Amino acid sequence: MLTQMLKAMYGCVQASSLWFALLTKLLFAEGYVASETDRCVMRCESGGLIFCILIYVDDLLIFASQAETERIRQFLTEAFTTITMSISNSISYLGMQLLWKDCVFTVDMDFYVRQTLKDWMHLPVRINPGPRDLFNINETSPLLVEQSRQLFHSTIARILYLAKRVRGDIITVVSFLCTRVTKATEEDQAKLENLMFFF
């Protein structure tokens, strides 16, 4: 039996590659050119202005004039029928807050950091992100209850995002704790708390 899939976005091994090929083909047809250093950055020059589209899976961050933004909205809607698009001088994108004000462009991750730390603000501050016994695993330490394990898991995922982008000083501790998310123990929780003291 031979089967041909006509439409798929999520769940297929090649879904992201197929989506990227479809999207870039459309953008190329509309006059955009991929950056030589990063194929996820598209650029179009028109009337002395340069417009940029940054692609992250199915999220697009568009830097363009109002007229170009409307043109982009039209051709994306024609191609994909339904799109979600917001236009603002302040946008939250992939954990970053992007702000255009008084001809100055600012990027920060303060909101993301606050959201990550909100459940841990009661902890005191430490000067070292990991305890001496960080890599020791006590097999007799009790497992966390499921709700605590899920909080442990989501917190580690958020901190990993930060560590890879702006907090390289904690990457060793976070990398180790990533190995513990499915079987986190009370000892692992204490190590996470130690890390959270460091913020």
Give the separation between CA 194 and CA 199, rounded to whole angstroms. Answer: 9
pTM attached to this predicted model? 0.57
Percent of the chain, pLDDT > 70?
91
> Greatest CA span in the chain, whole angstroms?
68
User: Taking Cα atoms as reference points, which of 93, 14, 106 lies closest to residue 54?
Assistant: 93
- Distance between CA atoms of 107 and 93, rounded to whole angstroms? 10
d(CA 11, CA 4): 15
Q: CA 15, CA 41: separation in Å to the nearest integer?
A: 20
**Which DSSP symbol is given to 15?**
H
Tens digit of pLDDT for each residue in 40-53? 999 999 989 999 99
Q: Tell me: the pLDDT tens digits for 83-130?
A: 888 888 888 877 788 888 888 888 888 887 887 878 777 777 666 677
